């Protein structure tokens, strides 16, 4: 048993520098706009489990950078990275399922992936989830949950708040004071729970 652990530990010493090296090399190629070489290197790192490489390669397949456009491949790469906790990949999946880009349009899956990214703290996804709850798109209509999520999105600083303020104010004008109070209470509770995890 100890021998197996030692072999795994020794193997990881060689794997992690290789992952980091591939990723750094891929970023350098990408910054030089040598997308074909970047794709090759990211592919190698993604196959070895690099979440960053999976996300970057997904973008390249979506944006046709050094590879042929392959939205289903982009979705698969984003899914793998999102399942490993990558916020941006989860948000990308929400968008791709919402608009049917590389996957069949599926409002429920879009809402689920946006919610995953929102729970991880992505302000764009938090706002998008608020809209989905407000409209009942892919989720049951829930104006209190909508309030919670747009309140959280607005808590990410002045720039975010100013960007979404007109939409939020328009929606809030249609809610009752009880709905607003409960949504804001839930947002405060969420923030408290997530601050304690830091």
Inter-residue long-range contacts of 30-39, CB under 8 Å, 24+ positions, other chains counted: 30/56, 30/65, 34/66, 35/60, 35/65, 35/66, 35/67, 36/66, 36/67, 37/66, 38/65, 38/66, 39/65, 39/66, 39/67
pLDDT of residue 118: 97
- Same domain for 24 and 88, yes or no, is yes
Using the 3D structure, point to which of 75, 106, 137 is the last residue of a domain. 106
pTM: 0.83
Listed in sequence order, the residues at least 6 apart from 128 whose beta carbon sits closer than 8 Å to its beta carbon are: 91, 94, 114, 118
pLDDT of residue 26: 87
- Least Cα distance to 62 among 71, 49, 53, 51 occurs for 71
- Same domain for 33 and 74, yes or no, is yes
Q: Which residues of the chain have pLDDT under 70?
A: 1-20, 197-198
* Residue 11: inside a domain: no
pLDDT of residue 21: 72
* Residue 5: inside a domain: no
pLDDT of residue 102: 85
pLDDT of residue 4: 40
pLDDT of residue 43: 95
- Least Cα distance to 150 among 42, 140, 135 occurs for 135
């Amino acid at each position: 048993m100890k021998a197996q652990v030692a072999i795994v530990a020794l193997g990881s010493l060689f794997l992690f520098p290789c992952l980091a090296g591939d990723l750094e090399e891929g970023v350098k190629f990408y910054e030089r706009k040598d997308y074909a070489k970047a794709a090759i290197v990211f592919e190698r790192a993604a196959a070895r489990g690099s979440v960053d490489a999976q996300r970057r390669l997904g973008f390249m397949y979506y944006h046709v950078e050094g590879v042929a456009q392959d939205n289903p491949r982009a979705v698969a790469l984003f899914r793998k990275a999102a399942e490993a906790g990558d916020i941006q990949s989860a948000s990308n999946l929400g968008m791709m399922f919402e608009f049917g880009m590389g996957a069949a349009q599926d409002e429920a899956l879009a809402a689920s992936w946006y919610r995953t990214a929102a729970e991880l703290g992505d302000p764009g996804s938090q706002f998008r989830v608020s809209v989905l709850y407000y409209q009942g798109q892919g989720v049951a209509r829930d104006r209190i949950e909508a309030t919670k999520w747009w309140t959280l999105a607005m808590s990410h600083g002045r720039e975010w708040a100013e960007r979404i303020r007109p939409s939020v104010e328009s929606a809030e004008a249609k809610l009752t004071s009880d709905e607003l109070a409960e949504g804001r209470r839930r947002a405060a509770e969420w923030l408290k729970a997530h601050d304690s995890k830091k």
